[in-house]
Amino acid sequence: MKKSLIKPSVDHIENAIKTIRGEKIILDADLAELYGVETKVLVQAVKRNWGRFPSDFIFQLTQEEFEFLRSQFVTSKGRGGRRYAPYAFTEHGVIMAANVLNSERAVQTSVQIVRTFVRLRQIVLANADLVRKLMDLERKYDDQFKIVFDAIRQLMTPPTSAPKQIGFRPKALKK
């Protein structure tokens, strides 16, 4: 089988998906690797078709975000490596990038990537449902345990009367 037709694994795709600015994205270098092309080829194809990539499909990282990524992944800061901030592709941008690359591997990989994004979205929704159920249980049990909480609060409050003194007190010495 040709290397260009090998589908990346779901785990490989999941590792490529990052969260930046509250968006699930894939960086241009990771996307290029998944599609089996060089990063510069991907970026050139995107720039030639810039009208297909609105701001909710692709954005370039700020210098601060780029520096943060460099510190996280220990990328080159000197010769070699990147000299510009990478582009971040959202789910829709990933699909559009496959369309502008127009290769068999890009098409196959974009299907896998979309499935991975959908799977991650389902996991998030399942967690949101679990959180909602937990909050419902907390509200339900708060009412049932109100008596217990009130009793604990009463035990925690200090008494209002002056405490009785405890201990030995010597009598005054006679002369």
Q: Is the pLDDT of residue 174 over 80?
A: no
pTM over cut 0.85: no
Q: Is residue 167 part of a domain?
A: no
Residue-wise pLDDT for 52-78, tens only, equals: 999 999 999 998 888 887 776 655 555
Cα 27 from Cα 46, distance rounded (Å): 13
Q: Is residue 160 in some structural domain?
A: no
pLDDT above 50 (res 4): no
Handedness of CA 54, 58, 62, 63 (dihedral sign): negative
Is there a domain that residue 148 lies in? no
| Domain total in the chain | 1
Asked if residue 135 is part of any domain, the answer here is no
Query: What is the SS3 assignment for 51?
Result: helix
Residues 6+ apart with CB under 8 A from 65: 20, 85
pLDDT tens-place string over residues 97-146:
888 887 778 777 877 888 888 888 788 777 777 767 766 766 776 666 66
pLDDT for position 119: 83
Domain limits for position 78: 3-126
The secondary structure of residue 77, as a DSSP letter, is S
Question: Is 103 contained in some domain?
Answer: yes
Whether 32 maps to a domain, the answer reads: yes
